[in-house]
Structures are given as C-alpha cells and as structure tokens.
C-alpha cells in the first residue's frame, strides 16, 4: 500500500510541476554521486554550461561577442577540477574533447601556455579514468564511442534535467558563477537579461 501511495504521489507531482521541475528540484536522490568510488581518477564528470554574462572585445569594450560556454571535468572521488575549456562556440563534441584531453595530460605543460608555472604536485592529475559521466547531449556521438573503445572507458549518460546526478561538477559551475558575480557591477540574470542587454551591455560585459 505504501508503494502504491508513493507511485501516486510521484505521478501527481510530475503532472503538477512538469518533468523539468520535478527532476531538478523535487525528485528524491536515492544514492550519493560518489557511491562505489574506489580511488581518485576512477570516475570523472564532464559538463558544459553557457555563462551568465556577456563578453566584449578587448580593444573597444563596446562590441558584444556573446556568452562563453564553460566546459569542466571533475574527479568524483577527490572533487578535484581535472579539465577545463572556455569557448565562444555552442556546446559541441569538439568543445568536450579539449577538457578531456586536458584531463589525460600533465598540467604544467597546459599552464605554461598561459605563462603560469606549476609543478606536477600543484595539480596532480593526468590520468585516463575508468568511467565518464556526461549529459545526454553533444557527448553522445560516434566520437565518444571511438574514445571509449580506444581507451577502454565506460561512458554513462544522464537523462535530461537531472543535474543532481552530476552534482559534483554542477557545484563547480555554481562556484564560478558566484566568483564572477562578486566582480561585476551588474550581473546578467535570465529574468531581466532581455531588458538590460541593449541598455547596459557594456556594463554587464567583461573584456577578453
């Protein structure tokens, strides 16, 4: 009887609030994201999101370029950020390939491209994981299948509107958003973006 009541309640909430709201904020999580983790590097989560701010060109600070796409890869066991990429292009497999390559390779060489000097101990991750968790979006492609086959990696795709299944990497996106919000005089939120964009685009943008 309790099982029946639970199913009825689930159906009611799903019908009342819709699939997106139900999966994001109402549906219960029955397991931890790090359940079954054996060691660092066993599983990584990758995700991409469009930033909540606009960029302008560095020279004039008036021409709006657009909103960048931020790609992150996070090790589930240690919660370490192990790969990243920022692009002005829409989400794509090519965009995901860069943080994955970043994950597999030593970090001193990567940081040297930006005139940052570090040792292996400062960012100790350059491993091929056993498993990758990703959205059921641009990552689901023939290229991902080739990558998984070549390096013997299991790839698991999450359903739409189930951010809680990738809470580890989603937390990093929230942290980045908060850090940027503190440094910008006028922050772009979706609720007033269409009203503020034309009038305040130069204020809510930051130079490349």
- Run of H or E residues at 56: strand 54-56
Higher-pLDDT residue of 195 and 96 is 96
- Run of H or E residues at 111: helix 107-112
pLDDT tens sequence across 128-150: 999 999 888 888 889 999 999 99
Q: Per-residue confidence at 11, pLDDT binned at 50, 70, 90?
A: low
pLDDT tens sequence across 16-49: 656 655 555 555 555 555 556 678 889 999 999 8
Distances (CA, A) of 191 to 20, 35, 52, 111, 196: 18, 36, 11, 36, 10
Does 193 score more than 50 pLDDT?
A: no
Q: Per-residue confidence at 204, pLDDT binned at 50, 70, 90?
A: very low
pTM (two decimals): 0.71
**Could you state, in order of their start, the residue ranges of all structural domains in the chain?**
1-29, 31-207
81-87: strand order across its sheet: 81-87, 69-75, 43-50, 131-135, 154-158
pLDDT tens sequence across 51-92: 888 888 888 877 888 899 999 999 988 889 999 999 999 999
Domain at 31-207, CATH from 3.40.980.10, 3.40.30.10, 3.30.420.10, 3.40.640.10: 3.30.420.10
pLDDT tens sequence across 157-188: 887 655 555 778 888 888 888 887 777 665 55
């Amino acid at each position: 009887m309790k099982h029946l009541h639970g199913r009825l309640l689930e159906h009611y909430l799903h019908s009342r609030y819709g699939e997106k709201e139900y999966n994001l904020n109402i549906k219960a999580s029955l397991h931890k994201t790090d359940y079954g983790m054996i060691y660092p590097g066993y599983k990584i989560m990758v995700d991409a999101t469009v930033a909540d701010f606009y960029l302008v060109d560095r020279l004039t600070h008036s021409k709006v370029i657009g909103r960048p796409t931020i790609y992150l890869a996070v090790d589930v066991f240690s919660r370490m950020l192990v790969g990243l990429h920022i692009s002005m292009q829409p989400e794509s497999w090519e965009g995901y390939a860069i943080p994955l390559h970043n994950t597999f390779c030593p970090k001193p060489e990567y940081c040297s491209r930006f005139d940052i000097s570090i040792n292996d101990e400062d960012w100790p991750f350059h491993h091929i994981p056993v498993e990758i968790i990703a959205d059921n979006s641009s990552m689901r492609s023939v290229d991902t299948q080739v990558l998984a086959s070549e390096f013997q990696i299991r790839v698991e795709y999450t359903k739409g509107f189930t951010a809680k299944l990738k809470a580890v990497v989603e937390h990093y996106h929230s942290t980045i958003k908060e850090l940027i919000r503190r440094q910008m005089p006028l922050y772009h939120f979706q609720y007033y973006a269409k009203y503020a964009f034309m009038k305040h685009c130069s204020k809510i943008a930051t130079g490349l």
